[in-house]
Amino acid sequence: MSARGWLTVGLLLWAGRLAAQQTHRCDFCHNLHGAAAEQLRDYQVVETLCLSCHGSAGPAQVDRDGVLVPVPKNVAVHDGPKHTTASGCWECHNHEGEAFGNLVMVQRSVTTPASGVKTVVFTARSGVNSFADADGVYDGVCEVCHTVTTQHNNTGTAGQHNAGAVCTDCHTHQSGFQGAGGCSGCHNTAQDNGDGVPVGGRRAVVGEFVRLAHHVQVPDSVPDVDCQVCHEMSQHQQGRVRLWNVDQPGIVSAAIVLTGNPNTTATEARVLVPFCVACHDADGAGGNTTPFTDGVTVPGLDGSGWASAAHNRVSLGSEVGCYGDGAFGCHATGHGSEKRNMLAPPGAAAVAPALTGEQEGFCYNCHDGTPASTDIQAEFQKGTNTATQIFHHPVAYADQSGSRTVECVSCHAAHVARPDAAAPAAPAASARLLGVSRVSVTNGAAGSTPTFTFRSATDATPAKEYEICLKCHSSYATQPAGQTDLGVVLNPSNPSYHPVEAAGKNPNIRTEAFVNGWGPASTVFCTDCHTSDNTAVRGPHGSVNRYILKKPYTASSSNRTMSSGENCFDCHNFNTYANDQSSNTVKGYSRFNPSTFDKGHTFHVDDRNRPCYACHTTHGSATRPTLIVTGRSPGLNSYTQTGTGGTCNPTCHGSESYTINYAR
């Protein structure tokens, strides 16, 4: 018998030992063309042989029963930095293992690169005797060769992640077993490579992309290409999260690398600031403003605003930035959060009515006195608001009603707001208010409603504080019935007004009629009157005083004794207007006082207990000078002003004329 004949007999005898699981006849691979049953020693020949059926164009995914079966296709070489030589198909697959019950032609005996000859048991695809079952005997087909892997090596000294699982579900043939199968294929469960960074491994992130707010607006999936918009993969599974600097696409050396846990370490979270800002700027990801497959345009930050923003605190000596737990950063995930705007903490939904962790509740994480120096939360909790009794801006969910609502972000832009380098001059807005939308006014004749122009958060024209207030406190908004349109009454075309939009109409009034540095040419902020009663806190968040006033004031003309601590006298001289014991010199700083007229302001306020409110309106008058108002009781029925004095017709006595102390 020829050598070929003996070989044929031998093969037939061997084939007879094969159990019913045999799937490959000898002549699938040997003796293909009538030649001798040659040994297959060439890696490329074997690879081609296997792929001639199992490759893209092969028929092997259709089994003999006419059922589609999942078989490896487009197999890539099992190679990489931990290999001295590439491994081909037959490093794992050869027919002799079938005689011992090994599945899919997995070899029984493998000559390993560094560990000698190892026995392989692969009689199940999962569980005991599968790929890597962590049973203390390292005979899995994935274990026997591995000596320097971080998982499942042949001495049991590496990690044992996903023991008993089907390794090739993630470590696919197509990827050369590099843990592919798509990013989502692995990261839909926690992944621990055993390096202890972070403790417990990488959390499962795929599920975060279906939360209330998330990157990548693709339903039900996160394409790998989107993951890799952010994640630089050249050192995947080597212990560090590496992120692209998207303004330097493809430059691995520019990658932003985490060396610790940004969820627990402010310094580490701070590392992520340039990563976030690189994309959330005007040019998006290196010029691509729609970097994800969802086509959504990147929300851009005002780069110059963020550079000096109070929340960008590295320049101020503390570690606060984009990423964090709510105390040292606001956004605690790059993937998705149950809070709007991906705020922290990400895992729990904000639940009405408290909505803790969102909007004002979120801001209170810091702005309750720690670590922020002022307790803004306490300001918003002052007093109890009613329809007419307002003590705080109603930012709380429970206080919200109607079509007009207010939140922290109505007045403060978290990515822009910063302390003032120098006190702003009214009406210029404080830097704490920059970066929010507002409405500017174009005023017409006295008493007319101005033309409002909405200016977006990115509008570059200089912002005035009152423009932010007028968003809500004018007819630009839908105001509650009976509420004053401040756009109308603050119009500088009016005969009189508090000097919010422009200096007042009474330039010759004596400076001594004012206190605390105010004068006839002053302009004022709304927040000079409407601010906290706590002098350590600026802004109209809340006050123990009605109307969120800095000091007490009663909006009633009923007789009462006014005190020097009332709000009017924070600017206007109490002794000139409300102290009848003052000298005529002090009284004479007001035109309507002795010595040219024996009664006047101090007589009415102090002697007769008529409060300012009886005769004066607050913000402005479209019809009368010096904020004179009629129709209140006690109050004025009418008033006429002349060049040298005037005539009053009050509810208290008959008409009376007066002469002023000094020229108007």
Q: Which one, 291 or 499, has the nearer CB to another protein?
A: 291
Instruction: Report the distance separating Cα 167 and Cα 151, nearest Å.
Output: 11
Of these, 6, 12, 28, 235, which contacts another protein (CB under 8 A)?
A: 28
Segment contacting another protein by CB under 8 A, of 32-40, 305-313, 497-505, 601-609: 32-40
Q: Which one, 59 or 565, has the nearer CB to another protein?
A: 59
Instruction: Report the distance separating Cα 8 and Cα 24, nearest Å.
Output: 16
Q: What is the token pair recorded at 644?
A: 């040298």
Instruction: Show contacts with another protein in window 388-427 (CB under 8 A).
Output: none
Q: Which one, 64 or 653, has the nearer CB to another protein?
A: 64
Q: Exposed/middle/buried for 664, CB within 10 Å: 0-12, 13-18, 19+?
A: middle
Segment contacting another protein by CB under 8 A, of 29-37, 231-239, 324-332, 629-637: 29-37
Contacts with 469 (C-beta within 8 Å, 6 or more apart), sequence order: 486, 526
Instruction: Show contacts with another protein in window 263-292 (CB under 8 A).
Output: none
- DSSP, collapsed to helix, strand or coil, labels residue 428 as strand
- State the maximum Cα–Cα separation within the chain, in Å, rounded to a whole number: 146
Cis? peptide before 563, omega within 30° of 0 = no
Of these, 32, 114, 257, 349, which contacts another protein (CB under 8 A)?
A: 32
Segment contacting another protein by CB under 8 A, of 26-34, 158-166, 297-305, 489-497: 26-34
Of these, 17, 25, 82, 340, which contacts another protein (CB under 8 A)?
A: 25
Of these, 19, 35, 117, 387, which contacts another protein (CB under 8 A)?
A: 35
Q: Residue 66 — φ and ψ, nearest 5°?
A: 75, 25
Instruction: Report the distance separating Cα 366 and Cα 376, nearest Å.
Output: 9
Instruction: Show contacts with another protein in window 218-247 (CB under 8 A).
Output: 225
Contacts with 70 (C-beta within 8 Å, 6 or more apart), sequence order: 61
Cis? peptide before 198, omega within 30° of 0 = yes
Instruction: Show contacts with another protein in window 41-100 (CB under 8 A).
Output: 44, 47-49, 51-53, 55-59, 61-62, 64, 66-68, 73-74
Please report how close the Cβ of residue 317 comes to another protein at its closest, in angstroms: 43
Please report how close the Cβ of residue 50 comes to another protein at its closest, in angstroms: 10
Please report how close the Cβ of residue 442 comes to another protein at its closest, in angstroms: 46
Q: Which one, 208 or 232, has the nearer CB to another protein?
A: 232
Q: Which one, 52 or 160, has the nearer CB to another protein?
A: 52
Q: Which one, 31 or 265, has the nearer CB to another protein?
A: 31
Q: How do beta strands 451-455 and 213-214 pair?
A: unpaired
Please report how close the Cβ of residue 34 comes to another protein at its closest, in angstroms: 4
String of contacts with another protein for each residue 496-535, x by CB under 8 A: ----------------------------------------
Please report how close the Cβ of residue 27 comes to another protein at its closest, in angstroms: 5
- DSSP, collapsed to helix, strand or coil, labels residue 84 as coil
Helix (H) or strand (E) holding 452: strand 451-455
Q: Which one, 4 or 340, has the nearer CB to another protein?
A: 4
- Check: CB of residue 145 under 8 Å from CB of residue 157: no
Q: Which one, 24 or 202, has the nearer CB to another protein?
A: 24
String of contacts with another protein for each residue 157-186, x by CB under 8 A: -----------------x------------
- Which of these, 388, 616, 622, 614, lies nearest to 485 by C-alpha position? 622
Q: Which one, 67 or 423, has the nearer CB to another protein?
A: 67
Please report how close the Cβ of residue 73 comes to another protein at its closest, in angstroms: 7
SS3 content of the chain, % helix, strand, coil (to 5): 25, 10, 65
Q: Which one, 47 or 566, has the nearer CB to another protein?
A: 47
Q: Which one, 1 or 67, has the nearer CB to another protein?
A: 67
Please report how close the Cβ of residue 23 comes to another protein at its closest, in angstroms: 9
Please report how close the Cβ of residue 71 comes to another protein at its closest, in angstroms: 12
Q: Residue 569 — φ and ψ, nearest 5°?
A: -90, 10
- Which DSSP string do the residues of 507-547 spell out, in sequence order? TTS-GGGB-TT--TT----HHHHBS-SSTT--STTB-SSGG
Q: Which one, 57 or 199, has the nearer CB to another protein?
A: 57
Q: Which one, 176 or 594, has the nearer CB to another protein?
A: 176
- DSSP, collapsed to helix, strand or coil, labels residue 227 as helix
Please report how close the Cβ of residue 213 comes to another protein at its closest, in angstroms: 26
Q: Residue 106 — φ and ψ, nearest 5°?
A: -70, 135
Q: Exposed/middle/buried for 238, CB within 10 Å: 0-12, 13-18, 19+?
A: exposed
How far is residue 275 from each of residues 199, 417, 619, measured CA to CA in Å? 24, 21, 48
Contacts with 397 (C-beta within 8 Å, 6 or more apart), sequence order: 352, 353, 354, 355, 359
Of these, 34, 136, 317, 654, which contacts another protein (CB under 8 A)?
A: 34
Q: Which one, 249 or 519, has the nearer CB to another protein?
A: 249
- Which of these, 565, 549, 656, 652, lies nearest to 609 by C-alpha position? 652
Q: Exposed/middle/buried for 565, CB within 10 Å: 0-12, 13-18, 19+?
A: exposed
Return the beta strands (E) in 68-121 as ranges. 109-111, 117-119
Q: What is the 3-state secondary structure (H, E, C) of 258-294?
A: CCCCCCCCHHHHHCCHHHHHHHCCCCCECCECCCCCC
Segment contacting another protein by CB under 8 A, of 22-30, 385-393, 398-406, 623-631: 22-30
Please report how close the Cβ of residue 5 comes to another protein at its closest, in angstroms: 14
Please report how close the Cβ of residue 32 comes to another protein at its closest, in angstroms: 5
Please report how close the Cβ of residue 199 comes to another protein at its closest, in angstroms: 37
Size of the site for another protein (CB under 8 A): 29
Q: Residue 330 — φ and ψ, nearest 5°?
A: -105, -30
Please report how close the Cβ of residue 49 comes to another protein at its closest, in angstroms: 6
Q: Which one, 60 or 502, has the nearer CB to another protein?
A: 60
Of these, 1, 20, 33, 136, which contacts another protein (CB under 8 A)?
A: 33
Please report how close the Cβ of residue 59 comes to another protein at its closest, in angstroms: 5
Of these, 27, 42, 607, 656, which contacts another protein (CB under 8 A)?
A: 27
- DSSP, collapsed to helix, strand or coil, labels residue 621 as strand
Give the single-character DSSP code of 588. Answer: T
Q: Which one, 25 or 340, has the nearer CB to another protein?
A: 25
Contact set with another protein (CB under 8 A) = 25, 27-28, 32-35, 44, 47-49, 51-53, 55-59, 61-62, 64, 66-68, 73-74, 174, 225
